[in-house]
């Protein structure tokens, strides 16, 4: 049996794979003494829940969360979700592990994305906003991290380069909106778009999987972004106080409401534009990724998506290709 990847697995398959143990939990059996091992497993193609029904305590002690493991087992369906019934777990040798192989790649080329980003930065005419943006994007270490960072752990653009892609897509959508609404301060809203998520470089960690840092869980990227930008504005002599307030409002309001994590809802034209565009790009990307994971021509609907809280329609089932030999 050769190694396979998660998004190729179907009900009834006997599988073997190198995966990352994203999560492990010992759970008590309902009807007998002892515990079974509940797992969340991932690779670059997706993730799946797994269960070890025999000797769960012993197996759990053989590896840690975040470790790369080789699993073998059978794919079953439980509550409308595919699940791996694990028969064995082994630790691979270090030579078998290349960390990047477990992180999903960007769907677009990084080079052209960075070119589009640079073109927008160069179009900013306000000297203070340009210096502010340049203080980050002219920093080689910042850009190296920014090119590789995901935009989220799971929700949207959760792949290498996802933060860069998301930022460029927001800039592109805002460009159209600025043409429709010439009263929008283009320099301000573009600067806000370039800066609103930079705190995700500190909020999220990338190893063999994406996860939150301690700072990310305790503070969150909105507050981190605000602090990073405040520090940068403090270093620019004479930075206008009103512009400072407008930039901070863009960052602090971009999630749209207090319930969604923003200290204040959008209260300026630019803040409303940034929030609506940023949210639209994130939500459409979530649905697109869900469809991409499930589209195989043999089902009209996805499985129940716990994050979106719905099934997503995939379209008509495609008839099988005719056999040319028949």
Q: Locate the domains of the chain by residue range.
A: 6-100, 103-287
Q: Could you give the percent of the chain with pLDDT greater than 70? A: 95
Per residue in 151-185, pLDDT tens? 998 888 988 999 999 999 999 999 999 999 999 99
Compute the distance between CA of residue 244 and CA of residue 265 in angstroms, rounded to an integer.
17
pLDDT at res. 179: 96
Q: How confident is residue 209, by pLDDT bands cut at 50, 70 and 90?
A: confident
Structure tokens that stand for 228 in this block: 């990073």
Give me the pLDDT at residue 111, please: 93
The confidence band for 8, taking pLDDT boundaries of 50, 70 and 90, is confident
The answer to whether the predicted template modeling score (pTM) of the entire model surpasses 0.95 is no
Residue written as token pair 């009807």: 31
Residue 326 has pLDDT above 70, yes or no: no
Q: What is the pLDDT of residue 80?
A: 75
Q: What percent of the chain has pLDDT over 90?
A: 63
pLDDT tens-digit map of 79-137 = 878 899 999 999 988 888 876 788 888 888 999 999 999 999 999 999 999 999 999 99
Report the CATH number of the 6-100 domain: 2.40.50.140
Residue 47 has a pLDDT of 84
Name every residue whose Cβ is closer than 8 Å to that of residue 292 and which is 6 or more positions away in sequence: none
Tokens of 197: 């998520």
Pairing of strands 204-206, 81-90: unpaired
pLDDT tens track for 22-77: 899 999 998 888 899 999 998 888 889 999 999 888 999 999 888 899 999 999 98
- For residues 302 and 293, what is the distance between their CA atoms, to the nearest angstrom? 9
What does the pLDDT look like over 231-251, one tens digit per residue? 999 999 999 999 999 999 999
Q: What is the pLDDT of residue 186?
A: 98
Of 235, 208, 206, 221, whose CA–CA distance to 68 is shortest?
208
Task: Select from 286, 285, 317, 293 the least CA-distant residue to 8.
Answer: 293
CA dihedral 207, 213, 214, 219 (to 10 degrees): 180
Average pLDDT over residues 278-296: 84
CATH of 103-287, one of 3.30.470, 1.10.3210, 1.10.3470, 3.40.50: 1.10.3210
Listed in sequence order, the DSSP H helices in the chain are: 56-60, 110-122, 127-137, 140-148, 162-180, 186-195, 200-203, 214-218, 221-234, 241-253, 269-294
Task: Please determine, for residue 295, whether its predicted confidence score (pLDDT) is greater than 70.
Answer: no
Query: How large is the average pLDDT for residues 141-150?
Result: 94
- Looking at residue 104, its pLDDT comes to 83
**Is 319's pLDDT higher than 80?**
no
Least confident of 18-27, 126-135, 260-269, 297-306: 297-306
For the cut 80, the answer to whether the pLDDT of residue 139 exceeds it is yes
Q: Of the candidates 18, 3, 33, which has an alpha carbon nearest to the alpha carbon of residue 63?
A: 18
Range of 58-67, 273-282, 316-325 with top mean pLDDT:
273-282
Query: Which neighbouring-strand residues pair with 21?
Result: 41
| pLDDT value of position 258 | 93
Count H helices and E strands in the chain, helices first.
11, 7
């Amino acid at each position: 049996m050769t190694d396979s990847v998660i998004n190729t697995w179907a009900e009834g398959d006997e599988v073997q794979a190198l995966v990352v143990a994203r999560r492990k939990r010992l759970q008590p059996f309902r009807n007998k003494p002892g515990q079974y091992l509940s797992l969340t497993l991932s690779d670059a193609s997706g993730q799946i829940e797994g269960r070890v029904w025999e000797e769960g305590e012993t197996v759990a002690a053989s590896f840690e969360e975040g470790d790369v493991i080789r699993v073998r087992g059978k794919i079953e369906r439980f509550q409308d979700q595919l699940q791996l019934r694990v028969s064995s777990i082994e630790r691979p040798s270090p030579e078998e592990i290349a960390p990047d192989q477990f992180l999903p790649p960007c769907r677009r080329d990084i080079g052209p994305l960075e070119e589009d980003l640079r073109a927008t930065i160069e179009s900013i005419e306000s000297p203070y906003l340009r210096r502010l943006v340049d203080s980050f994007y002219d920093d080689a270490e910042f850009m190296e991290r920014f090119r590789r960072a995901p935009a989220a752990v799971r929700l949207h653009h959760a792949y290498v380069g996802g933060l860069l892609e998301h930022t460029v897509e927001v800039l592109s959508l805002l460009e159209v909106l600025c043409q429709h609404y010439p009263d929008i301060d283009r320099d301000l809203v573009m600067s806000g778009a370039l800066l609103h998520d930079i705190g995700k470089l500190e909020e999220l960690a990338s190893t063999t999987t994406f996860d939150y840092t301690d700072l990310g869980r305790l503070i969150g990227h909105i507050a981190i972004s605000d602090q990073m930008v405040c520090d940068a504005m403090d270093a620019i002599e004479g930075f206008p106080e009103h512009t400072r307030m407008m930039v901070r409002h863009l960052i602090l309001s971009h999630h749209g409401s207090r319930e969604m994590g923003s200290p204040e809802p959008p209260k300026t034209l630019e803040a409303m534009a940034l929030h609506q565009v940023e949210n639209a790009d994130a939500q459409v990307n979530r649905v697109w990724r869900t469809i991409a994971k499930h589209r195989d021509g043999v089902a009209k609907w996805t499985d129940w998506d716990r994050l979106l809280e719905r099934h997503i329609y995939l379209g008509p089932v495609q008839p099988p290709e005719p056999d040319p030999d028949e």
